[in-house]
Amino acid sequence: MAIQEDFERGIDCMENQRWDDAIAAFKDAIKANPNRYAAHYNIAIAYGRKNKMADAITACEKAVELRPDSFKAWTNLGWFYSIKKNHEKAMNACKKATEIKLDEPLVWINLGAVSRAAEDINTAENALRKAVELQGVNHEAWANLALVLDAKQDIKGAMESREKAIKILPNDGYAESYNIILKGNPGDPGTMAILGIAQEAQQHQDVALELYKKAVEKNQESILLWYCIGTIAEKRNNEDDASQAYEKLVGLVDQAGAAKEKMVALMGLGKILFSKGDKDSALSRFTEALAIAEQLNEQAARARCLSNVGLIQEDKGNHEDALKNLEQALLIADDLNDLDAKVKRLRNLGNIYDAMGFHNKALQRYKDALQIIDSTKNIALKALILHDIGQINKDKGEFDDALRNFSAALDINEKAGKKADAATDLVALGLIWQENKNDNAKALSYLERALSIYEDLGMNDELESAKKLINFIKGQG
């Protein structure tokens, strides 16, 4: 009776993650009955959680001695051996588990993971493919397979496996298991990459980025890691990390034949260079990416390249070529039924026609965009287009229409919490009331609201302009 009480106390402590108490309880149970398999098995798990790998291995070896048909004991023994870098014993133990339980995904995942750590990537790939065949919705299997295929320079397979992994939440205790590996092998790049993929799956992008950056320090040739760093950093507006990763990626992908990844890197670099004002370098990157997109028949990417090339050309004053490229991008968006891209291209075209002085053509593009924009739910862009239309109305002397459109834009931006854009609308409304409606009181009411927003946001240049305009109007009064 006391033996069972000791064992049950150990299980209760395990469930509450009181590992030291669990170890003490199982020791008492083993002392009373040295041949009780379950006590040896569970104390091995508790030792593992405490990162006492030598004790965990001893206990697990006793467990498989007492019950040689326990696939769980064999696969855990393999895991413990792997953490101690005894790769041959780790693989043999995990292989024994697969012989006992062929249809259990866990044994194949562990064989794949320890084989990856042992750099036996062929065994790892075969095991992990068996795991996903048995259980396709398994984060750990896909994450490990992504790293294995990256090591084999099967970049397409690596990217697809990562995409599948980040769409599946890891199991409870998953991160803890791999953190134990890190305690035994600090800085292990594979383990940090595995944890990075898990963080991506949980939408912790900043944590994932830091893990990938640490992993790539010791694995500079990993296309997968540089790609993850580049794409996450770009989304987080971390231009320095994104630029470094994309430059490295461009240098690596040719030998691996990873054309799609090179295209993504070139597009990312083009975007960053354009934002920094290096138009010529940005144009070169997007042009190179466009050639790859056309070769791969990646129509969505081709449209993005064409639109960015067009925007750079417009910024350089080359209206005709800009229009041509943006019209092509618009046609592709139409073919793909990509309404969001279509609205953006229509606005881009409207902006160019407006800059060229073709107000009617610009208005038509803006109105075409408004006809479909509600389907995209992109209310921020709708406000920008309404503001664009209001500006043309003002330029054409249609002041009531201008007031109506600026007011509609303001209403959207205020509801959406887009304070900076709302301030722009307020200034536009104030100027019409001051310049065209001769109502200084109303003009000041709008401008003072804009001034308050600029103060809150710390937009100093806009703040000073608003102050000068307000003082000018008050001086007139």
pLDDT in tens, 122-167: 999 999 999 999 998 999 999 999 999 999 999 999 999 999 999 9
| Start-to-end C-alpha separation, the chain | 97
Specify whether the CB–CB gap between 180 and 149 falls below 8 A. Answer: no
475: left (phi over 0), alpha (psi -120 to 50) or beta: alpha
Tens digit of each residue's pLDDT (9 = 90 or more) over 368-416: 999 999 999 899 999 999 999 999 999 999 999 999 999 999 999 999 9
Specify whether the CB–CB gap between 327 and 335 falls below 8 A. Answer: no
Lowest mean pLDDT among 146-150, 180-184, 227-231, 321-325: 180-184
In terms of Cα–Cα distance, which of 18, 15, 27, 65 is closest to 7?
Answer: 27
- Check residue 1 and give its pLDDT: 44
Give CA–CA dist 250/236, Å, rounded.
20
Instruction: Please tell me whether residues 403 and 364 are part of one structural domain.
Output: no
Amino acid at 288: E
% of the chain surpassing 70 pLDDT = 99
Instruction: Please tell me whether residues 275 and 368 are part of one structural domain.
Output: yes
Give CA–CA dist 231/235, Å, rounded.
6
Mean pLDDT, the chain, whole residue set? 94
Q: Domain boundary residue among 307, 342, 377?
A: 377
Phi, psi dihedral angles at 358 (to 5 degrees): -90, 75
Q: What is the CATH number of the domain that holds 361?
A: 1.25.40.10
| Cα-based angle 11, 15, 21 (whole degrees, multiple of 5) | 60
- Asked if the structure places residue 40 within a domain, the reply is no
Tokens 């600026």 — which residue? 406
- Check residue 174 and give its pLDDT: 81
Amino acid at 118: A
Instruction: Please tell me whether residues 359 and 470 are part of one structural domain.
Output: no
Q: DSSP label at 459?
A: -
Instruction: Please tell me whether residues 305 and 373 are part of one structural domain.
Output: yes
Instruction: Please tell me whether residues 307 and 362 are part of one structural domain.
Output: yes
Instruction: Please tell me whether residues 398 and 423 are part of one structural domain.
Output: yes
Give CA–CA dist 96/71, Å, rounded.
7
Instruction: Please tell me whether residues 368 and 422 are part of one structural domain.
Output: no
Q: DSSP label at 170?
A: P
- Check residue 100 and give its pLDDT: 97
Instruction: Please tell me whether residues 351 and 401 are part of one structural domain.
Output: no
Instruction: Please tell me whether residues 301 and 348 are part of one structural domain.
Output: yes
In terms of Cα–Cα distance, which of 224, 284, 229, 295 is closest to 259?
Answer: 295
Give CA–CA dist 202/165, Å, rounded.
11
% of the chain surpassing 90 pLDDT = 89
- Asked if the structure places residue 384 within a domain, the reply is no
- Check residue 3 and give its pLDDT: 55
Tens digit of each residue's pLDDT (9 = 90 or more) over 215-250: 999 999 999 999 999 999 999 999 999 999 999 999
In terms of Cα–Cα distance, which of 63, 54, 120 is closest to 97?
Answer: 63
Amino acid at 142: W
Q: Domain boundary residue among 353, 377, 401?
A: 377
Tens digit of each residue's pLDDT (9 = 90 or more) over 35-55: 999 999 999 999 999 999 999
Instruction: Please tell me whether residues 282 and 333 are part of one structural domain.
Output: yes
- Check residue 443 and give its pLDDT: 93
In terms of Cα–Cα distance, which of 289, 303, 379, 383 is closest to 345?
Answer: 303
Tens digit of each residue's pLDDT (9 = 90 or more) over 329-352: 999 999 999 999 999 999 999 999
Specify whether the CB–CB gap between 42 and 171 falls below 8 A. Answer: no
Q: Domain boundary residue among 315, 347, 377?
A: 377
- Asked if the structure places residue 32 within a domain, the reply is no
Instruction: Please tell me whether residues 262 and 292 are part of one structural domain.
Output: yes
- Asked if the structure places residue 134 within a domain, the reply is no
- Asked if the structure places residue 183 within a domain, the reply is no
Domain of residue 400, residue span: 393-477
Instruction: Please tell me whether residues 411 and 451 are part of one structural domain.
Output: yes
Q: Indicate the number of domains in the chain.
A: 2
- Asked if the structure places residue 477 within a domain, the reply is yes
Query: Over 50: is that where the pLDDT of 107 sits?
Result: yes
Give CA–CA dist 295/463, Å, rounded.
49
- Check residue 477 and give its pLDDT: 58
- Asked if the structure places residue 121 within a domain, the reply is no
Q: How buried is 156 (Cβ within 10 angstroms: 0-12 exposed, 13-18 middle, 19+ buried)?
A: middle
Let me know how many helices (H) and strands (E) the chain has, helices first: 26, 0
Lowest mean pLDDT among 108-122, 162-176, 212-226, 273-287: 162-176
Query: Over 70: is that where the pLDDT of 2 sits?
Result: no
pTM of the model: 0.85
- Asked if the structure places residue 419 within a domain, the reply is yes
